[in-house]
Amino acid sequence: MTRLGSTPPSAQSANPSAGLNIDFIRSEFPVLARKIRGKQLVYLDNAASTQKPQQVIDAISNYYSQSHSNVHRGVHTLSQEATDLYEGARGRVGKFIGAQDTREIIFVRGATEAINLVAHSFVRPLLKPGDEIAISGLEHHSNIVPWQLLCEEKGSKLAVIPVTDNGEIDTQEMKKILARRPRILAINHVSNALGTVNPLREIVTAAHSEGVPVMVDGAQAMPHLAVDMQQLGCDFYCFSGHKMFGPTGIGVLYGRLDMLESLVPYQGGGDMILSVSFEGTIFNELPYRLEAGTPNIAGVVGLGAAVDYLTGIQMAEIQDYEDTLCSYALERIDAIPEVRIIGKARHRAGVVSFLVGDVHPHDVGTILDQKGIAVRAGHHCAQPVMERFGVPATVRASFAFYNTRQEVDTLCEALEDVTQYFN
């Protein structure tokens, strides 16, 4: 059986796009067969972390059971096998995102570490008192706090691009900020709180016209969109493995080669050196110069397997399916009178954030869990977004290509029960 085409009749009702065989895809994710409190699991917390296909689980298990060793340093067979797996994954990740050179792929613990790496190794040496760092009002805390710390240290300022009532960035105000030549623009590709898809190519072009480099947090985009670094044209782009059906504790910083060459090493030790003496150290070449210490080899192997899995399905098919599913979810959820959707951007991916009357989001999340439905309730590590819309928290249902219309219906029936319970 294949993931594409020849969708059996049993899957057609679950599948708004005939391109994907959803029944078969779901069978590849073991956790989706679980029951929670006697109910079939409906997993709608994908923006926090996606589930893992058996292919990824097996790749990690096989590495540990057959080929585990440290990489790059050994001449024995296991070390060579581990190194081949590690560097092979780097090549496949680079191809997946359209990098021109494998040296542009730096393995890190996740998007958070990648942002901190760029903050400390690229921006910090350039920053002077009075300089600005530009971010948007849609950012995750991980793309706010590192820049705040840097501004506090250097006496610099954070310039925040405002957000419209629809949950989109104000591009006219953005251009005014860019005209002041901030040292960098750090912006997400997709908002984790609202699902807004930023017009990234337009943003990058506007920034570069003012000579401003662009760092993109792509953690929420990678599971949903076909991402190509040559088309986007950004200087840095980062993402986390666990958001794209891979393991936790691994992520990627992509950087244009000329930009990465300018980075001062963020951490010292391990494979980032060529030679060390008490008089001084000669650093290794890229990408190893920015990968200090023993890496998360199993994480890289798992990430490579996740990339293989997504490549086998094709991101264009995933995007088409999810666009249809998300539109259906927005329509169904918005039709419930007591529910208010927060953020109605024209372009969005994978997320519907909402309130249910006066019921606290945590109470909604708890009630839904009793019905086997997993959603996120809280500020989603995006408190400035919540403040912008005057709410302390929201309920967030976030989707992946293994979700179905039936699961959306189950969610909406449960939300209607919540409204009746509190009325």
- Model confidence over 264-283: pLDDT tens digits? 898 998 889 888 989 999 99
Catalytic member of 151, 326, 381, 412: 381
- Model confidence over 120-177: pLDDT tens digits? 999 999 999 999 999 999 999 999 999 999 999 999 999 999 999 999 999 999 999 9
- Model confidence over 243-256: pLDDT tens digits? 999 999 999 999 99
> Residue 3's pLDDT is what?
61
Sequence-ordered list of residues with C-beta below 8 angstroms from that of 164, at least 6 positions apart, any chain: 170
Q: List Cα–Cα distances, 298 to 29, 65, 89, 121, 292, in angstroms.
A: 19, 11, 11, 26, 16
Q: Assess whether 381 carries a catalytic annotation.
A: yes
- Per-residue burial over 62-89, b if 16 or more Cβ lie within 10 Å, else e, is ebeeebbbbbbeeeeeebebbbebbbeb
First to last CA, the chain: 48
Contact 217, 139 (CB under 8 A): yes
Query: Structural domain boundaries of the chain?
Result: 9-33+315-422, 57-311
Q: List Cα–Cα distances, 85 to 70, 120, 297, 390, 415, in angstroms.
A: 11, 30, 8, 48, 46
> What proportion of the chain, given as a percentage, has pLDDT over 70?
95
Q: List Cα–Cα distances, 31 to 42, 311, 366, in angstroms.
A: 10, 22, 20
Q: Are strands 214-217 and 280-283 parallel, antiparallel or unpaired?
A: unpaired
- Model confidence over 275-316: pLDDT tens digits? 898 999 999 999 999 999 999 999 999 999 999 999 999 999
Right CATH for 57-311 from 3.40.640.10, 2.130.10.10, 2.60.40.10, 3.40.50.300: 3.40.640.10
Class of domain 9-33+315-422: alpha beta
Residue 370: HSE in the Cβ half-sphere, 13 Å Cα cutoff: 9
Q: Which two tokens stand for residue 263?
A: 């980075």
Give the pLDDT band of residue 12 (cuts 50, 70, 90): very low
The Cα diameter of the chain in Å comes to: 74
